[in-house]
Structure 1
Amino acid sequence: MNLRLGLLVALLLSGLATLPAAADDFPQRPIKIIVPFPPGAGPDNVARLVAQHLQDAFGQTVVVENRAGALGSIGALEVARSAPDGYTLLMGTNTTQASNVATFKKLPYDPVKDFAPVIRTTTTAMVLLVNPASTAKDLPQFLDYAKAHPNLTAGYGSGASQISVAQLQSRGGVSLVAASYRGVPQAMTDVMAGVIDLTFGDFSVAIPQIQGGTLRGIGVTSATRNELLPNLPALSEALPGFEATIWYGLFAPAGTPEPIVNKIYAECAKYLSMPKTRATFADVGVIVAPLAPAEFGAFVKSEVMRWSAEVKAAGIEPQ
């Protein structure tokens, strides 16, 4: 019995001893970051900046691959089913890791159990966008116009934008026809083309269009005016209680060795702490807001509860 116990202890110690070594050697081949939304979407912009830094820091290729569809669940599921070795990561969001729990009748992955949180990278908000030819030039005018023209078409391409459309109806007392898109950029393109009437766009993709005059911003979904668009009112100023603050972050498949998770986290945290990074991220419409793995994990659990309540309150029926 003692011999068997001794062998077991030796094996356990041997296994533990290999983990730091594995982290020291990581990575030995290319890393893939799956973005579950289309190119040009907010999470895609952040993922590409993070990927470039990790590539420079690790001396290995870091590839960003877009797997859009089903409100991000297609890409998230791919990562959940990947080998837990740190070579496949997810740029997850409040949609994939929180609100999808309530917007799908049967989500094919568990956003808590199937992932190892690495780092929350950023937070941001969205903008209510209309075509610049619209007669509505501010929020009061928009609400008056929407009430006088029932069944305007509102496009959404994420959980947060879907919930925002529902909030606009319930809190604003307007009737909208919601139209689902593979991602926010596609909905914005159709607003610009006059195919649909409005959408909610992430700051990272909305700000350049507002500045370029191809879309008009009506209001922001953060609880108060946002530092990135200080001249636009918060929708809550006219519609009390309106809020949709969103976030992005890196996840690995559940079971990824902790030393590898910590190594990726440490390098990302270093990058996010740089003043140049903060300025670069502000330019693409996001605010640096890192959380370490344990904090991020607890945050995700709380977000599942928060967004599930938001979905229910908005009256959204699960798909």
Structure 2
Amino acid sequence: MNVQRLLAQLALSIGAVAALPAASAADYPNRTIRIVVPFAPGGGSDVVTRLMADKMAADLGAAVIVDNKPGASSIIGTDAVARAAPDGYTILMTNSAITSNPWLFKLPFDTAALVPVTMIASAPQLLVAHPSAPFKTLKELLAYAKANPEKATVGTAGAGQLSHLAAEQLQRMSGTRLTVVHYKGSGNSQGDLMAGQIQMSFGTAPGFIQHIKNGKLVPLAVSGAERIDALPDVPTVAESLPGYDLVNWFGIFAPPGTPAPIVERLYQSVSRALANPEVSARLVKDGFKVRSMSPAQFDRTVRDEMASWQKFVKDNKLKID
């Protein structure tokens, strides 16, 4: 009889534990949500996150805070989310580097285990130069770089970031050799660029547009296949090097094991924020393209890009020192 009672109590306990995700999903959210950005403040991911956070807070009825955790090419912040409780209160806003990092670094987490929630926006990299640089166009840069191997300096947001891969691709397709300088975030790279410590930098448009308009930076080229509305007179790299096409996207991920109802709630909140004319207009003005995707669509995109970057890194024998 005691054994039967024990088994009954055990069954009840197991049932209660199994019901926890559903229960927590039903009243989600009921406390502050933390969006981890694995980059320093000022970069594209940070700009997009802060734009979305207020709208999401109003929609979800809970506070939404932004927590910058830069370092190790976004690995530190991503690892914090990978280890977080799968309850929807700690989520990740990152960029497409999450799909190339597995092939460039030894990671402390399984990228494929993270739960894709939705893509938010995409933007090409913008290659800009300090006014003191001895080139004012991409063609002038390529001519200078061929005549002066490794003399032209270009900053990136970090080893393995898309800005790094953009610089590597530029060298390979043009047959030039640049000196690539890695920083801990695009904000740090931009600071040295503005001070003239480096000649060029790859980065997303929002951090550069106002400085371009003020004449403090010179736009050389856009990394995507098409010019952007925010800077229609700036040519694409592909106009000089056909086939060159690199675009950065920004999206939200949840910790492994996050219940589907919570993922769906987050996706719907982001979708409503993106549908807000104020938000979409601001994104376009800053050089972004709105790219809302369902969790299933985003999951397919992430897996496809992981396979593509695996091939790219292998074929080009890329190594991170």
- TM-score, structure 2 as length reference: 0.90
CA separation in 2, counterparts of 1:188 and 1:254? 34
CA separation in 2, counterparts of 1:210 and 1:315? 35
Among 271, 281, 284, which residue is 2:283 paired with?
A: 281
Using the TM superposition, give the Cα deviation of residue 84 of structure 1 relative to its aligned residue in structure 2, in angstroms: 0.7
Q: Which residue of 2 aligns with 1:135?
A: 134
Matches within 5 A, 1:157-172: 157-158=157-158, 159-172=161-174
Using the TM superposition, give the Cα deviation of residue 170 of structure 1 relative to its aligned residue in structure 2, in angstroms: 1.1
SS at match of 1:34: strand
SS at match of 2:108: coil
Among 27, 42, 45, which residue is 1:43 paired with?
A: 45
SS at match of 1:219: strand
Q: Which residue of 2 aligns with 1:98?
A: 99
Gaps of 5+ in 1: none
CA separation in 1, counterparts of 2:285 and 2:13? 51
CA separation in 1, counterparts of 2:37 and 2:279? 20
Q: Which residue of 1 aligns with 2:209?
A: 207
Q: Which residue of 2 aligns with 1:83?
A: 85
CA separation in 2, counterparts of 1:18 and 1:128? 49
SS at match of 1:291: coil
Using the TM superposition, give the Cα deviation of residue 299 of structure 1 relative to its aligned residue in structure 2, in angstroms: 0.9
Letter in 1 for 2:279: T
Q: Which residue of 2 aligns with 1:316?
A: 318
Letter in 2 for 1:110: D
Preserved contact between residue 229 and residue 284 of structure 2 (Cα < 8 Å): no
CA separation in 1, counterparts of 2:121 and 2:9? 47
CA separation in 2, counterparts of 1:35 and 1:178? 24
Q: Which residue of 1 aligns with 2:108?
A: 108
Give the percent of matched residue pairs that are identical in Structure 1 and Structure 2.
Answer: 37
Letter in 1 for 2:112: V
SS at match of 1:37: coil
Distance 1:51 1:131, change over 3 A: same
Preserved contact between residue 124 and residue 246 of structure 2 (Cα < 8 Å): yes
Q: Which residue of 2 aligns with 1:58?
A: 60
RMSD: 2.3
CA separation in 1, counterparts of 2:123 and 2:10? 49
CA separation in 2, counterparts of 1:78 and 1:150? 40
Using the TM superposition, give the Cα deviation of residue 117 of structure 1 relative to its aligned residue in structure 2, in angstroms: 1.1
Preserved contact between residue 153 and residue 200 of structure 2 (Cα < 8 Å): yes
Letter in 2 for 1:117: P
Using the TM superposition, give the Cα deviation of residue 35 of structure 1 relative to its aligned residue in structure 2, in angstroms: 0.3
Distance 1:234 1:8, change over 3 A: farther
Distance 1:19 1:109, change over 3 A: closer
Q: Which residue of 2 aligns with 1:178?
A: 180
CA separation in 2, counterparts of 1:175 and 1:318? 17
SS at match of 2:243: coil
SS at match of 1:134: coil
Using the TM superposition, give the Cα deviation of residue 43 of structure 1 relative to its aligned residue in structure 2, in angstroms: 0.3
CA separation in 2, counterparts of 1:293 and 1:18? 22
Using the TM superposition, give the Cα deviation of residue 206 of structure 1 relative to its aligned residue in structure 2, in angstroms: 1.9
- TM-score, structure 1 as length reference: 0.91
Preserved contact between residue 163 and residue 310 of structure 1 (Cα < 8 Å): no
Letter in 2 for 1:248: F
CA separation in 1, counterparts of 2:195 and 2:298? 39
Gaps of 5+ in 2: none
CA separation in 2, counterparts of 1:51 and 1:16? 31
Using the TM superposition, give the Cα deviation of residue 131 of structure 1 relative to its aligned residue in structure 2, in angstroms: 0.5
Preserved contact between residue 166 and residue 315 of structure 1 (Cα < 8 Å): no
SS at match of 1:166: helix
Distance 1:121 1:5, change over 3 A: farther
Using the TM superposition, give the Cα deviation of residue 50 of structure 1 relative to its aligned residue in structure 2, in angstroms: 1.4
Preserved contact between residue 19 and residue 259 of structure 1 (Cα < 8 Å): no
Preserved contact between residue 33 and residue 91 of structure 1 (Cα < 8 Å): yes
Distance 1:69 1:278, change over 3 A: same
SS at match of 1:255: coil
SS at match of 1:107: coil
Using the TM superposition, give the Cα deviation of residue 309 of structure 1 relative to its aligned residue in structure 2, in angstroms: 2.6
Using the TM superposition, give the Cα deviation of residue 284 of structure 1 relative to its aligned residue in structure 2, in angstroms: 2.7
SS at match of 1:310: helix
Using the TM superposition, give the Cα deviation of residue 102 of structure 1 relative to its aligned residue in structure 2, in angstroms: 1.6
Using the TM superposition, give the Cα deviation of residue 220 of structure 1 relative to its aligned residue in structure 2, in angstroms: 0.4
Preserved contact between residue 229 and residue 287 of structure 2 (Cα < 8 Å): no
